[in-house]
Every structure is written in structure tokens, then in C-alpha cells.
Amino acid sequence: MAPAGVGTAGAVLTALVGAAGLLLLGAGGAKIIDPDRTVGALAALGRPVRPLVVRLGATGEAVVGAAALVVGGRASAALVGASFAAFAAFVAVALRSGRPIGTCGCFGRADTPPRVAHVALDLVFAAAGVAGAVLGVGPVLDSSWLHAAVAAALAAGAYVLFTRTPATAAAH
């Protein structure tokens, strides 16, 4: 459930932050298993790092996602917001660099080239995290089945949007 006194808006916010948490957990897990795409994206932007550094960051990402799902609260929402703000900044830098980057590395092997839509969606989740930090959110796993299902559907939809390549979009 959303924190007491937050009502429907809090439940919606909990679902949004929960969706962001699911994405963080999935993307972090993917980068722990295979950090190569993120290593390549960072190197293309002049920030070479070793796979271990990516795996450590991805572990933090997954922990933040898990906290949003299991613990909820203002602190985990703030960390979700900060994570997605950082991702938005990274993708914006990649777009502005003009360097050919085939993927940002967000979901391991999925080809996720940096796009404006990616920045916009990152900013939506960043704003949800900030709002959740201000208003408070509950853990998604403590929510009703409907709110948990909404969080899962939002995460699935966001994943599709994040990983949809320009060629895929043109085909539909």
C-alpha cells in the first residue's frame, strides 16, 4: 500500500516508482552478467572503465531497484530518481557527442541506441522518484495485486520503448 494519507495519487506514484525499480533490477542484473555493452558505450564517450567497475555500478543499480520493490519509502524513491536522472544525463551526453554509439548498454545484450525518447522516459522516472521522495511511496510488493500488476505493465512497456530501435519503430 501507499503510505497512510497519500491516497490514490500515492498508489499511482508507488506503481511508477515500482516500475522504475523493476527496470533498475533488470538492467542492473543484465549488466552484472554482461557489462561489455556499457563498457563500450563509456569508452566511446571517452570514459573507459573496466568491466568490474560496470558490474559494481550495476550491483548498486539492482539494489536500488530491489529496495524500491521491497522496502519503498522516501529514501529508495530518491535513489530511484537520482538513478534515472543520471541515466538521462548519460544518454543526453551520448546524443550530443555525435559519436556512433550502437547501444547505451542499459539492458545488457539488447541493442538500445541512445535516443531522445530514452532521455524523456528516464526523466519521467526521475520525476516519479523525486515525487516519491517528497510524498512517500510504499513497497510495490506490499501493494494490492492491481498496483503490482500496473507497475509490472509500466516496466514492460518502458522496456519495449527503451529497446525499440529506429528500424523496429519504422517497421510498425
- 28-62: pLDDT as tens digits: 999 999 999 889 888 988 899 999 999 999 999 99
Sequence-distant (6+) residues with CB within 8 A of 62 are 24, 25, 28, 29, 32
3-class SS of residue 98: coil
Question: According to the model, what pLDDT value does residue 151 have?
Answer: 92
pLDDT band at 7 (very low <50, low <70, confident <90, very high): low
Query: What percent of the chain shows pLDDT beyond 70?
Result: 87
Q: State the maximum Cα–Cα separation within the chain, in Å, rounded to a whole number.
A: 49
pLDDT in tens, 79-101: 999 999 999 998 898 888 877 67
Q: What is the pTM of this model?
A: 0.87
167 band by pLDDT with thresholds 50, 70 and 90: low
DSSP sequence for 35-92 = -HHHHHHHHHTT----HHHHHHHHHHHHHHHHHHHHT-HHHHHHHHHHHHHHHHHHHH
CB 131, CB 74: distance < 8 Å = no
Q: What's the mean pLDDT when you consider all of the chain?
A: 86
112: confidence class by pLDDT, cuts 50, 70, 90: low
pLDDT tens digits, one per residue of 144-163: 888 889 999 999 999 888 87
Indicate the pLDDT class of residue 21, thresholds 50, 70 and 90.
Answer: very high
Q: Who wins on pLDDT, 166 or 6?
A: 166
Q: What is the model's pLDDT at position 60?
A: 97
Percent share of the chain, pLDDT over 90: 56
